[in-house]
Structure 1
């Protein structure tokens, strides 16, 4: 049975268009539209290219898809346009099942977690009129326990505070999270409070059009917070204005509120004996808040969705439909579900661009040697990752043991100096760096205190925490690279960040990789079996 999960929209202020194809209990392919159209978050688009990719990967046409799953249950005007779109673009419209948005979020974590029983918590700005939801999961079934209706939204609060700090709402919340570690929370704030463990948004402080979900808020052409100055806070920071200590304090306040609200929602429903927690929804992309659930709330294992944002609802909706027909995939720890490119594909691009290169018999060994020489390596191997993180297929890599590397990589990425990086760590060495033996973090989804920061100082934040990706034993080329680097340096990790810069989506294909490499001061590009340096360049 083929189930095609689709998330997207026709011009609405909605984001993260994506497509996922499941065959029985196997996830065949998954991709986000932004990677193909080069438009971050693909706001207002349907995933035309992503759909074509996943069908091509399976070698099928739309006529062979049994069911399409769509993660919105209340878009009453959407169905006729969606069916017309499918006929126009693909020549066929299979049966369509509409799945509740937060159920799709929940499924995108639980149904691929490998857990039998789990508490499941989702939180975002809003979806199908709901801002957060709690489920009890057992034996492959999700039972709703409680929902938080719009507008009492942790995600809306995060977006409003992001915009208040001069950043783009629904895009730059992670910048606020990084800035927060440099500040001290203000003792009082009035925008969000808790009522019996549930978030309550002070709507009197927000622009009234927020409640109509006006699309201009997503382009930051309208202020979400009505006043230029929140009570007890410094004035709103204008985009591009200088950053001062007071702005870090605002960020720290926002982060503290988000953490408190998330933790209260979890604790409201946690029962004695709960050891597993699944989380999803855009709020759960806050890796600091999720990490503190692991370190402070006492769960033995937390499984964040591989794509916590709305791209993940394409996966979740497909999983819900597949589960209804008796199919559930095994635990997912590898998100390389996107397009791959052959050596012939790579050679064609190099030839067309008149780029010279060196062939290596072992890309992992060659890249590790470059890293030990203090070089920064653009790394392009295998299938592209699905989800917001580069996890060893489309990555920018560096030696994590030198502070100077953080500054160099920041220049390459053209990003703010206050933002942290994360390490990819050999799973059996996690205890050396983080003091714990029970950590599984395949998606770089949560932040933890470091036990020994020196080996990963360039990937350690100012507060002594780091956001690791654990890389288990296996035959993968990325695993071999880290093993080789460890053998040469004694450091069981590499600094890993996404292969992109600025507002650009993660690199998808060889031509984009070349354009990125020759537009930045990275030292080498290892793409397939080819090594390109700035000395090579054009013929």
Structure 2
């Protein structure tokens, strides 16, 4: 069976799944060069089909998803669009009573409304010119965020009360097949039957079906508000081929985290990641367990009647009704800071990001996120027992699963023995999740055994032929010198050992926001100055940390406190000897590790050769991209970045590139 997955929301992507195996995942941002790109066109779909060696005629079914509130935009409905198909035979797989009512959404498209009202919203920047051109007149289908919604889920249930939620009767077809609607997709001349899959259900499907777990609890959570029951995420349960929506958790910690980052002027698109990096510089001085709860608990969280410190105000976009926990949390933090004599002058000043008011607010918010998630997974563990389906396995998914310290806290402190987080847990992986849900949950196709390494789970983007690489080299011939060493990995290791900063481009691009060795910048981890040096090369804030890649069989000699293997850079470990690895050791002694084995190909061989020269089986690894850009996709992207930056050497599918003197930015 071949299933085509299409995600129309931000971090838009297209995937092909054949007989339960993910063939590819094409992320639109890598092609348009606009981070978190919104919208899909026939071009991305055709790229995915061509890469898989098939045509639209070979596709059996499709799976379509979007981000909460983002409408499905169709530049040309004759080329790409869909309609609901409640009378089609495959509608029988959509079991929830009255589920067709969900398709009668009258919600205004959020993206169109943002443009129409002239708001300076980051979503506008995520639209490429082909979508911006006629956006307001463009055909669309409104976002559909409410699928199966039993009355029980509409109750105002606090986090602790979730432990008593009746879940003994959730293992049924309504909870399994109620998170999808039947559609017909038009792709040029072909009409393909398929399903519109609920956002978090697709997250859960990606997280579960991409593992080898027979059964697992799944926690999905992102930055959306739980304004209806499950916009912010849910508890799910996967067993063999089946996936069940168990209950909403009503968490809003992910949204709170993003908005604190925004308050600190760390940005909308990159704020959460920066806050995660800023937090270790501070102390969780303001943390109070009274704020550990979900959105409903926010209305009963402590609300101090003391006045805010002089000159301090809570922004207008944070108001008590929609963001109760956020409002009370910030009020608590500011009042506590005032009592303790903090200087509020640097608050939100990015030039003074390391001032205590900024770092301690970040650390306290990180601590709050971790404690909320820990309590949620403990409740989920008990709910599994209440379902008579106890499990030791937990899958984390949704954008919040990119928070490495929180993932590690769950790994180290929860009762779950196995904790999984995969590279495309954010919205870019929804096209994979939707397709896997259709393949396994709907049609009961057998699940293949997976290797669980980067080759199968991460290297799902495009590869580029020698002729395409040659064309790029010819285009930039006046700017670069090209040589083809017999052993590129060995030569690259020599460059790294003598402290060159190396750009490494090899094979298929990575899926997800983390560079995992195919579009990476590599540097010597034992030279402290490389922390600042590589940040300057990338145009990043100098306080932001870098991650290491380490040989899996030696990881425990250098790191502790994270699951091993840890191939996707989604867990934080503690560095055993920080003085030996200063360029990748954060101020709190932590490091966001990636483990690799021989299956990782040339990337592993570079590390192996570096070890033979230095005695250190570790390298600094960060994404190959410029400031504000997605990770590079093509050879053209890589060379263009190389000649405009202070990178020393670029390896391009085995070729070694250096700059002609006239082109060096120095």
Q: TM-score, normalised by structure 2?
A: 0.72
Deviations 1:326-346 (A, max 9, x none): 142433422111111222222
Partner of 2:574: 449
Task: Out of 454-463 and 295-304, give the one that drifted further.
Answer: 295-304
Change (3 A) 1:230 1:366: same
What secondary structure does 2:500 align onto?
coil
Per the TM alignment, residue 145 of structure 1 is displaced from its structure 2 partner at its CA by: 2.2
Q: Is 1:284 the counterpart of 2:395 in the alignment?
A: no
Change (3 A) 1:228 1:518: farther
Distance (whole Å) between structure 2 residues aligned to residue 363 and residue 64 of structure 1: 39
Partner of 1:218: none
Change (3 A) 1:210 1:507: farther
Distance (whole Å) between structure 2 residues aligned to residue 200 and residue 166 of structure 1: 27
Partner of 1:32: 27
What secondary structure does 1:469 align onto?
strand
Partner of 2:474: 351
Does the CA-based 8 Å contact 1:275-1:301 persist in structure 2? yes
Distance (whole Å) between structure 2 residues aligned to residue 73 and residue 411 of structure 1: 34
Deviations 1:353-389 (A, max 9, x none): 2233111122211111110111110000101011111
Per the TM alignment, residue 71 of structure 1 is displaced from its structure 2 partner at its CA by: 2.6
Change (3 A) 1:320 1:303: same
Partner of 1:490: 615
Change (3 A) 1:230 1:49: farther
Distance (whole Å) between structure 1 residues aligned to residue 549 and residue 329 of structure 2: 41
Structure 1 stretches lacking a partner, 5+ long: 10-14, 214-223
If you compute each CA radius of gyration, which structure gives the higher value, 1 or 2? 2
Distance (whole Å) between structure 2 residues aligned to residue 183 and residue 431 of structure 1: 27
Q: Is 1:2 the counterpart of 2:100 in the alignment?
A: no
Q: Aligned ranges for residues 151-166 of structure 1 at < 5 Å?
A: 152-166=251-265
Change (3 A) 1:80 1:480: closer
**Please, what is the CA RMSD of the aligned residues?**
3.2
Partner of 2:183: none
Distance (whole Å) between structure 2 residues aligned to residue 121 and residue 53 of structure 1: 32
Partner of 1:221: none
What secondary structure does 2:513 align onto?
coil
Per the TM alignment, residue 537 of structure 1 is displaced from its structure 2 partner at its CA by: 6.8
Q: Aligned ranges for residues 105-184 of structure 1 at < 5 Å?
A: 105-126=203-224, 129-149=230-250, 152-184=251-283
Partner of 2:381: 270
Partner of 2:173: none
Distance (whole Å) between structure 1 residues aligned to residue 80 and residue 433 of structure 2: 20
Distance (whole Å) between structure 2 residues aligned to residue 278 and residue 362 of structure 1: 39
Per the TM alignment, residue 474 of structure 1 is displaced from its structure 2 partner at its CA by: 3.0
Partner of 1:56: 50
Q: TM-score, normalised by structure 1?
A: 0.88
Distance (whole Å) between structure 2 residues aligned to residue 343 and residue 212 of structure 1: 58
Per the TM alignment, residue 406 of structure 1 is displaced from its structure 2 partner at its CA by: 1.1
Does the CA-based 8 Å contact 2:545-2:585 persist in structure 1? yes
Partner of 1:249: 360
Partner of 1:93: 191
Does the CA-based 8 Å contact 2:346-2:352 persist in structure 1? no
Task: Out of 307-316 and 468-477, give the one that drifted further.
Answer: 468-477
Task: Out of 28-37 and 161-170, give the one that drifted further.
Answer: 161-170
Per the TM alignment, residue 228 of structure 1 is displaced from its structure 2 partner at its CA by: 13
Deviations 1:472-529 (A, max 9, x none): 2337111111111111111111110000121100000011111111111111001112
